[in-house]
Amino acid sequence: MKNVTRFPRTHNSPPAEESEPSAASTGKLSFLSGDRLTYSQNIIADWQAQLRYLNGLAANSCQKHLEDLMRLIEHAQVAPWECRESHVIRFLESRTNPQTGAPLAPATVAAYCSAWRSFQAYMLDLERSNEILVRFKIRPQRFITDENSIAVKRYKLGWRSKAWAMTPAQIDAVDEAFRSMIKQAYLGRSKSLLALQRDRVMFHVGIHLALRVGELVTLTLDDFRPSHDRQMLHFGDLGVLTVTGKNSVTGTVPMRDPSVEALLRWYLLNCRQKILMGRRCSLSGTCTFEGKTYVTARLVFPSERGGPASPDMFRRRLKAVASQAGIAGRLHPHILRHTGCTLMVPLYSPEIAQKYMRHKSLYTTLGYYHPSTLDAGNEVNAALEFFADDEFDDVD
């Protein structure tokens, strides 16, 4: 049992009962006592449980919502059901920069309001609000309204994504930059050779399967399996990828380009085992990433240190190859996911792309779709040929 509080006792005293603290018992709410404290902790804990286990929100998102709610309550110094619009206004005013007078960034206010609105909706459920009314003679009211969240609406209306999708020419340019760096590393007998080969494969797999960087670096061999579709039998055991990503949403993405499958298979046979056998690791044979444990020998893209490939190092690599390739835009791992979606939509359909992207809303998927302005109505519905004929030379 985690986070158990143990109280000191004498040899003659009975053992203290061990109990797991609630999600809301954070050592705060010290200005409350008695039933007001108990009710406050319980309603916050129940709200957190609903977010986590019924709404499917990720643990870190639940924690962020909790922290944002506690900021408001601690500032107002009232029980949650006593929060009013005035408390929200005073809280936001208190966050104004004292030197410049600049208010909070709209994105920050939007995050706060998202958490507060979620808790407000939970608290205003009829049964809960009636119980609070009976117990404390006060009915909870809305403290997040259309008026005090208008700045958030304006921010969302004016929001424009900073992400973009690579064109086929840019993909080719980055691939050529990778190949040039790999050749230089080979001729110079550089230790970076294997890492460069791995990162090049990660670049293409990330685009082809439209993966988030956290999903990409933690891919395991067990995530791939053959496809039951007869038209995809030639992909063998790499036919489809099943991946669990953001908010624990699981989906299956098909392999569709023989050249990407061939590149991945070449890497698995020629590079991956060299990285694994030369890594610096513990005797346990396991590693952790973002709280999850993985068997190191099953990772598709292990690092030289024995864990998953570092997202930060991959970001730096993309920045370096983009600079060498003459790419003007800022190339980072999430651009690969946007690029993958942009290639998927005309190839399949927006609805099928939504399924493969593992988005709950089609609107979200369309936000990842960046068609060429002139060719938006005439996209070529064919997978790209990423690689040259000499792909599998010893140098690469």
What pLDDT, in 10s, does the model give residues 331-386? 999 999 999 999 999 999 999 999 999 998 898 899 999 987 655 554 443 333 43
Does the pLDDT at position 279 exceed 60?
yes
Q: How far apart are CA 234 and CA 232, in angstroms?
A: 5
Closest CA to 169 of 336, 39, 325: 325
Of residues 117, 128, 334, 355, which has the active-site annotation?
Answer: 334
pTM of the model: 0.67
Distance of CA 110 to the CA centre of its chain: 19
Of residues 200, 359, 369, 370, which has the active-site annotation?
Answer: 359
Could you tell me the two tokens for 255? 């392999």
Left, alpha or beta for 213 (phi > 0: left; psi -120 to 50: alpha)? alpha
Based on the residue annotation, tell me whether 337 is a catalytic residue of this protein: yes
Q: How far apart are CA 196 and CA 202, in angstroms?
A: 10
Q: What residues contact residue 168 under an 8 Å CB cut-off, 6+ apart?
A: 384
Of residues 337, 338, 358, 370, which has the active-site annotation?
Answer: 337
Based on the residue annotation, tell me whether 334 is a catalytic residue of this protein: yes
> Do the Cβ atoms of 75 and 147 come closer than 8 Å?
no
Of residues 65, 198, 204, 212, which has the active-site annotation?
Answer: 212
Which pLDDT does position 26 carry in this prediction?
45
Does the pLDDT at position 238 exceed 70?
yes
For 382, which DSSP code? S
> Do the Cβ atoms of 261 and 227 come closer than 8 Å?
no
Based on the residue annotation, tell me whether 153 is a catalytic residue of this protein: no
Based on the residue annotation, tell me whether 359 is a catalytic residue of this protein: yes
Of residues 39, 294, 368, 369, which has the active-site annotation?
Answer: 368
- Residue 150: pLDDT band (50, 70, 90) is low
Does the pLDDT at position 388 exceed 50?
no
Which pLDDT does position 235 carry in this prediction?
95
227-263 in b/e form (b: 16+ CB < 10 A) is: beeeebeebeebbbbebebeeeeeeebebbbebbbeb
Return phi, psi of residue 158, to 5°: -95, 5
Average pLDDT over residues 59-65: 90
pLDDT in tens, 119-148: 999 999 999 999 999 999 999 999 998 665
Which pLDDT does position 359 carry in this prediction?
92
Average pLDDT over residues 136-163: 70
Which pLDDT does position 149 carry in this prediction?
56
Amino acid at the residue 375: D
Which pLDDT does position 4 carry in this prediction?
40
Which pLDDT does position 25 carry in this prediction?
42
Q: What residues contact residue 78 under an 8 Å CB cut-off, 6+ apart?
A: 87
Could you tell me the two tokens for 93? 């005013």
Could you tell me the two tokens for 74? 């601690």
